[in-house]
Amino acid sequence: MFKKLNILDEKNKHLRTVAKEVKLPLSKDDKKTIQQIITHLKYSQIEEKSEKYDLRPGMGLAFPQLGYDKRIIVIVYEYEEGKFENYVVVNPKIISNSTELIAAEAGEGCLSVNREVEGHVLRYARVTIEGYDEDGNLIHIRAREDLSIAFQHEIDHLNGILFFDRIDKNKPFYTENEIRLI
């Protein structure tokens, strides 16, 4: 039985705190929460399910967005119509990044931000993430383009940063000549 997650709103001060490192192995509750997040994110990207359950589309969620003070992120990436890759990273860190910066042309959104926010968020075009999988194994993930943006967005949540904090107030938009927009 699907149960919609209770995602905190941007006004909740919990979203502005730095989450704590997670001790491995993960608890049964943490693993259950991860599965609930995966289902929620997958359903949010499938039109008939998102309409049925009234879900806003999203590809990532960090534990702090559910009120848990833990460094765990989940990304459900639709790499092809109806085909998804799940990424679960415990205690993620960006260990390398490209010098090239990109931005999502339409701007970024967030399941904790229930309003339109105008502006481009500069992100690295490529990142390598190090962390642990659900079973406590050390993992490395190389992400490019929109997946790279998603990882940086979710890791920001672990550090109390919301995407609009990164929009330059003096220059909220960039042209194709200034930055590669994807």
Q: Write out pLDDT tens, residues 152-166.
A: 999 999 999 999 999
Domain containing residue 87: CATH number: 3.90.45.10
Q: Answer yes or no: is 8 within a domain.
A: no
pLDDT of res. 1: 79
Q: Answer yes or no: is 4 within a domain.
A: no
Residues 4 and 40 sit within 8 Å (Cβ to Cβ): yes
Average pLDDT over residues 64-90: 97
Residues 128 and 94 sit within 8 Å (Cβ to Cβ): yes
Q: Answer yes or no: is 38 within a domain.
A: yes
pLDDT tens readout for residues 15-57: 999 999 999 999 999 999 999 999 999 999 999 999 999 999 9
The catalytic residue among 85, 105, 154, 176 is: 154
Domain span including residue 171: 13-181
Q: Answer yes or no: is 157 within a domain.
A: yes
Average pLDDT over residues 124-143: 98
* Rg from Cα positions in the chain: 16
Is 80 one of the annotated active-site residues of the chain? Answer: no
Closest CA to 132 of 86, 76, 69, 88: 88
Q: Answer yes or no: is 37 within a domain.
A: yes
Any bridge partners for residue 110, and if so which?
Answer: 113
Q: From the DSSP assignment, how many helices (H) and strands (E) are in the chain? A: 3, 8
Q: Answer yes or no: is 70 within a domain.
A: yes
Q: Answer yes or no: is 124 within a domain.
A: yes
